Amino acid sequence: MASWFVDNPHLVLHLYHGLSSPWLAIFTWDKDNIASLKAQGFNNVFHLPLGTSPERFRPKLGRTCNGLTADLSFVGNSMVYKVEKRMEKAMLPQNMLDNYQVVAADFRVSPERSIHDFIINYSTELCAGYWNLSDQESQLAYETMLTWEATRQYRLACVTKLLEVGERTIPLIIGDDGWEIAFQGEKRPWAWHKPLAYYDELPYFYPHSTVNFNTTSMQMKGAVNQRVFDVPAAGSFVLTDWREQMDEMLDPGTEIVSYKSIDEIPELARFYLTHEKERQAVIKAGHQRVLACHTWDMRVQSLLASMRSVYGK
């Protein structure tokens, strides 16, 4: 049996025991998960990055998504409501409610990749509070809440930097209405649009956004997300945060442009908005690389080859 984790197994598997089997192969999109999964007794663990469908995401599809276009855009959830829902499910004592934002902020900048290990080692008081939660589901809800809150803080900080690009560049944010809460009181101009359907609408939007902005969730501190492949496949430009595993899949500066500090965001966005030649060069190189190396067909072939290496002997 093969299982492909498209979420962070750190948020789930450590709560359960007796799941390993010699007949189970696990494929994870984040290379950072391999060592921890093997430590839990899963022997057949493989790295299988995300990919894209060039049949769905392709350039010049002939129409826009409801006429929607943008110079600079971000597609993503505000995480406001996701944090609230996890908070309700965790049923936390007051002292853990009082400091969750500080703990999440510390996790955001920590080199620790596992939120569970981070909690255990954060402080004696927090560790004790975690183990005293009512059940495993509450512990999982707390871990998820901290991960989403760290993501919310980071995402808001990154997207806010888009407001500094220029007075004539109004960022378009596509996502839930939690963004209106996040930017409550913001005087600088920005535009909002309700979420777009991944399969039926995003393929028609990406090619009509000059710069597609990307930030990565804190559940995957070393890996890359879907947009890094989808946007180049659609023949458009993506500006993303740098992740260690990115350089193994795309040539930095040639096939992908990334920022290592959020302070770099306005200048990079401004440059590629106003330098057509340089932007098109990255689009062309990234598009060719993604189609040559990062399609779902290629991922399935890699999965089958790994399965044959274990079970085909």
Instruction: Return all residues near 113 (Cβ < 8 A) that are at least 6 apart.
Output: 10, 32, 221, 222
Q: Token pair of 188, please?
A: 């600088």
pLDDT at position 15 is: 63
| CA dist., res. 233 & res. 288, Å (int) | 8
pLDDT at position 13 is: 67
CA–CA–CA angle 11, 14, 15 (5° rounding): 90
List average pLDDT for each run of 10 residues in the chain, which is 313 residues long: 56 68 88 88 91 93 83 98 95 95 98 93 96 92 96 98 94 98 95 96 95 96 96 98 96 97 98 98 98 97 92 77
pLDDT at position 288 is: 98
Assign 3-state DSSP to the chain and report helix, strand, coil percentages, each to 5. Answer: 50, 15, 35
pLDDT at position 7 is: 63
Pick the CATH number of 70-80+148-294 from 1.10.10.10, 3.40.50.620, 1.10.390.10, 3.40.50.2000: 3.40.50.2000
* CA distances from residue 185 to 181, 182, 190 in whole angstroms, order as listed: 9, 9, 12
In the chain, ranges of CATH 3.40.50.2000 domains: 70-80+148-294
Q: Token pair of 192, please?
A: 């909002």
Phi then psi for 169, rounded to 5 degrees?
-110, 105
pLDDT at position 234 is: 97
Answer whether 0.75 is exceeded by the pTM. Answer: yes
